[in-house]
Amino acid sequence: MTSVSAPPLLTGERAVVVLFIACIMFSLPPSLLLPGGFLSFLSFFALCVEIRGESSGSLSQLKTRPGASSGILLGAVTLPALMLSKLIQLSRALSLDEIHLGEVDYLQMQYWAASISCFAVLIFLSLVILAAQSSRSASCRVQCAKFIFGCIVLVAALYNISTTGMQTATNLLWVLFHGLATVKLMQHLLETFPSCASIGETLLVTAGLVLYFGDISACTIAKIHGYWSSSELAFVQYGTRKNEISTVIQGLLLGLLLFPVAFKFLLHTLDSLPSVTSSGTRMQNERRRSLIFFVSFGLVMIVVMPLWMQFVQDFQTHPLLWVAAFVFSEPAKRLSLCTYWVCLIYVSVRRFYYISKNSKTERILLRKYYHLMAVSMFVPAVIFQPKFLDLAFGAALAVFLTLEIIRIWRIWPLGQLVHQFMNAFTDHRDSELLIVSHFSLLLGCALPIWLSSGYNDRPLAPFAGILSLGIGDTMASMVGHKYGVLRWSKTGKKTIEGTAAGITSVLAACSVLLPVLASAGYIFTQHWLYLFLAVTVSGLLEAYTAQLDNAFIPLVFYSLLCL
């Protein structure tokens, strides 16, 4: 009888995550020791859940992506660590009187919302593991239940201590709601899109979505409350001061993510009508369905969501007209930049699509050319037109979401064409049901830039996604594929030569980029040792992780650059 060896307790991915958390802990000011302590506890709890879940196989019932590790530790700490890094950055600004205390308070609440969201998912996963092990004794189950209850009490106590002076009860209910919503959304995504993502990837997406829509809800609640009372709610008063660009982006994404729910309900209602279901051929029904889709889509995006944007932001004109006025406020720069983007995208997509159909070039290498294209597209805009790039990222993400909705629903006449085109650029992490690679690349480049739109004393931070994905990941893949000999593990494909090339290329790009930023008025205040550490940790994470690296590496790199 052959024995199955247990998975190792210390893997390369876990070691890199521990190093990542240690870097943040080392940079903590005294005022953030409590949030830092909870991040350490969350990391330990996530590590225990990951080890127990992978060793017992109890989490296989969640239908995650085949061939990938669970990624629980990485998924649970990435978003809270990012928020804590931003808090460290804002604490420096507060000591220099460059920001208001309210901004720190609101971000601290966002940190707790993200942390409790991840903590709630860890409790849910613990319960799944316990339920799968029905042979456990009753006393052992009672001890586990006491431990979980004690963890919840500990979270509430730490939150109460760290938010003294605010409306603690209201805030606590608000962040606990984030935890419940994250668990429910994660269950829904794993059931709706089975085998499309790992647990860690799903956790990162769901916690991020709940945090993002929680911020949108805060804006709406603040506006509604303002009509009834002159006082401000504690948990929204510092989150509602947004500019027009962020409101437009939030409105677009809110409409696109809620539209499939409304469209599905509309189709279900129409299908229940006998006069509709019994008449017409299959093609006629497809065309009728397509007409309903495009009419309802236009109604939501042109009428409904702009009404919400005007409600929360007080636009003086229609938001889409405001966008047009914003673009034409500097027509020479912005229209020329748009022309450059369109030409570059057209030439690249046409060339790479032809290669994918008629060449034996490996698809993973072909996809890296898009990473290089992202560098040539976004670097000039980050330096010279950062506000316009914020809006352009939102528009590009809206286009991607629209095409994916059309592809999934197979909307005539574009659905099948979009599906065939997108399949030319997929890899093993994509599925027929959901294609996520292009989303992860776009968001990996966009999120560091969006997160840097406020106070930022680290000029390289907005370039975290462009540097790590466009240069580091690309060079690591190309050099490793062509020259790599020494592998990091016996079963993995990543090589030491590729990782070294990725780290070296990012450091070289930083040395070239810093003088350009200095000539544009930016001041580099970070020590080179911190920069080297940030590049090295993100490079090692690319080498060891089995998760979707486009999603995690830019956020980890950005977090370290903010220290």
pLDDT value of residue 362 = 61
Rounded to two decimals, the pTM is 0.90
pLDDT value of residue 1 = 41
pLDDT 10s per residue in the chain (563 long)? 444 455 677 788 899 999 999 999 999 999 899 889 999 999 999 999 999 888 877 777 787 877 778 889 999 999 999 999 999 999 988 888 888 877 888 888 889 889 989 998 998 898 888 777 665 555 555 666 556 656 666 666 666 556 554 456 677 777 778 888 898 899 888 888 887 888 999 999 999 999 988 888 887 777 776 666 555 555 555 444 678 888 889 889 888 988 888 888 888 777 776 655 555 577 777 888 888 889 899 998 888 888 888 888 888 888 889 999 998 988 888 888 888 888 888 887 777 766 666 655 566 666 777 777 888 888 888 888 888 999 999 998 999 889 888 888 888 888 888 877 777 666 666 666 777 778 888 888 999 999 988 788 888 899 999 999 888 888 888 888 888 777 877 777 788 888 899 999 999 998 888 888 777 667 767 678 888 999 999 999 988 888 888 889 999 999 999 98
Neighbours of 549 (CB within 10 A): 22
pLDDT value of residue 74 = 94
- 161-168: long-range contacts at Cβ-Cβ below 8 A with a sequence spacing of 24 or more? 161/34, 162/34, 162/35, 162/108, 162/112, 163/105, 163/108, 163/109, 163/112, 166/105, 166/109, 166/234, 167/233, 167/234, 167/235
CA separation for the pair 178, 115 (Å, rounded): 10
Contact 210, 182 (CB under 8 A): yes
Residue partners of 194: CB distance under 8 A and separation at least 6: 63, 433
Provide the token pair at 80.
Answer: 């809270």
CA separation for the pair 346, 300 (Å, rounded): 29
| DSSP class of 489 | S
Phi-psi region of 104 (alpha: psi -120 to 50; beta: other; left: phi over 0): alpha
> Within 4-100, where are the H helices?
12-26, 33-56, 72-95
